[in-house]
Each structure stands twice: as structure tokens, then as C-alpha cells.
Structure 1
């Protein structure tokens, strides 16, 4: 009888345990945060485009060009006879200054050396450099998403600030393959 009771207890123990079940979430998100974020960004983009177009209209002496990347620029100094432009891996030396959309200087003219597409540089400036030839100067107007976007530069440039940058490409040292 003792053996039967022991066997029955053993079988009861083996078959009474079940595997753990996954718990279902208590609340289901509907995606409303993403929808609100998209709407906020559309409004911000519309406001910035109005500001930029206002600047363009108030300076008809400058021949502004809309880039495929979503920013505007004009050449202060254009070099017609040179055809070399920076490519991936080229070392470029350039100088630039940064202002906000009202024209207030944020950073004074700074010289910088940069390896194309291999180092950190905000998106608009990286794409703008690819449009320049040595000794050319251009003024770029970057909407905030092409500048420092939501985070700013964590120093002088705040959240969602469109920028105006005057950039001079001084030299290009082509990469050695």
C-alpha cells in the first residue's frame, strides 16, 4: 500500500505541473504617440519651410537652388573651370560659420578637416560639401532635420533650429585606392 501511495504521489506530481504561460499585456498601445509625433513634425516642417521661403523671397539677388536633399543654397563664389568634387573617403579642408534663421551668429568662422562620409558631421553640411569644388563658397539654409534636429548640438544649438551656414571648401585631398 505504501508503494502504491508513493507511485500515485509521484504520478500526481509529474502530471500536475504545467509549463509557464506567457502573460498578455494589460494595455494595448494604439500608435497614438507616433501619429501625434508625425503631425507635430509636419507642422514644424511647414513652419520652417515658410521661414526659409520668406528669406529666399527677401533676397532676390541670390540665386537660390533647392537641393535634392531638402535644403537650399546659393553660391557666393562659383568656380566654373574645376570639375573635382569631394567623394567618399576624400579628405577635405573647409571653413564655415553657423547662424540661426534670423541671421544671429552661433559659431564664428571655423576651419575643419573632414574625411568625407567617414566622420561625424551633421547631415546637411555633409551633403552640402559634396556640391562644392575647391575655392567655392556657398551659403546653405538647412531646415532643422538636416541640421541638428531634435537634440541640437548640446552646446549652443537648441532643439529643432534651422541653420544658415556659409561654407568655403578650401582643399580636397583625394583618397588613395
Structure 2
């Protein structure tokens, strides 16, 4: 009986180990993250090279490089006003989306006239940044790398993932935010 009690006590003490952590089923390795970052850098460099060659070949237009990585030229410039939209202003605009080879993806009629509050994420990233460059009544054509367009996801319709685009944007009206 003593041995049985001793045996049960030993089993009880051995069985009371602390909890053993389970290993994750799937892990994200730094190597995978690093390779994804490198792939994205390579893709951006290739797109920038393509856009730069298009800019050099187009001798009819004077392209301007933006701080965020897009290029544009004016189709219509408005020198009668100096106001550029600011946060929470309401901007009315029309735009088209094309491939870099000028094949139309979405016409201005298909997209319709848009009323957008500045700095609200309702449009693709590159288009949101144009509000700080154009004034009311101006029209410009922009070249966007895929990272500023619809990115690695595309638009789930006509624009494939990682597609750089060209967009003609016209600011029809800017309604300034009413201060209280």
C-alpha cells in the first residue's frame, strides 16, 4: 500500500508540469517579408523606368515630377486663381483612367462627376494627391506607378494587379470648408 501511495504521489508530481506552449501552425518568416519587400522595390523601379522613358519620348508636353512619385503635365492651366484645395474642402472633378499606352480603361462618362472631400480615402492614392496640385478649372494628365494606382490588388474589375495607369483629371469646382 505504501508503494502504491508513493507511486501515485510520484505520478501526480510528474504530471503537474507547467503548460507547454503550442507552436504556431504557420509563421511569417523574416526571409519571406524581406523577399516581398525586394520584389515590390524591383517592381517600382521597373515601372519608374517605363514611365521615365515615356516622359522622355513625349516631347509635346512638359512633365512635372511630384514629391510622391507621379508625373503630370497640364492640359489646361488656370492662372486667374491661386487657391488649391485644402483638408475638408469639397472638390468636384471628372477623370478618366487609361493604360500607359493610352488605351481607355474607364471614360469620364462611365466614372461620372465626382464630389470628394480632400484627404478622405474614397479614391485611389494617386488621385487623392492631385488635389494639392491642381486649382479650380485646371486639367492635367498624370502618370501613376501601380503603388499609387490600384496597387497589388487591382480594382477587381478592369484594372489588373500591379498596373501603372495614366489619368486625365479635371477640377471643376472647389468648395472651401466653412470655418465656424
What does 1:16-27 correspond to in 2, within 5 Å?
16=14, 17-24=16-23
Report runs of 4+ in structure 1 exceeding 3 Å deviation. Answer: 7-16, 23-30
How far residue 14 of structure 1 moved from its aligned partner, in angstroms, is 6.8
What does 1:1-177 correspond to in 2, within 5 Å?
15-16=13-14, 17-24=16-23, 30-109=29-108, 110-177=112-179
TM-score of the superposed pair, with normalisation by structure 2: 0.85
Q: 1:81 to 1:42 in 2, by over 3 A?
A: same
Of 81-90 and 145-154, deviating more is 81-90
- In structure 2, runs of 5+ residues without a counterpart are none
Supply the RMSD in Å over aligned alpha carbons. Answer: 2.5
2:147 match: secondary structure: helix
Bigger radius of gyration among the two = 1
TM-score of the superposed pair, with normalisation by structure 1: 0.86
**What do residues 93-141 of structure 1 show as CA deviations (whole Å, max 9, x unaligned)?**
0000110111100000131111111241111000012211000001100
In 1, Cα distance between equivalents of 2:83 and 2:28 = 52
Report if aligned partners of 2:134, 2:171 keep a CA contact under 8 Å in 1. yes
Q: 1:84 to 1:29 in 2, by over 3 A?
A: closer
Q: How many pairs align?
A: 175
In 1, Cα distance between equivalents of 2:117 and 2:86 = 9
- In structure 1, runs of 5+ residues without a counterpart are none
In 2, Cα distance between equivalents of 1:90 and 1:29 = 42
Q: 1:121 to 1:29 in 2, by over 3 A?
A: closer
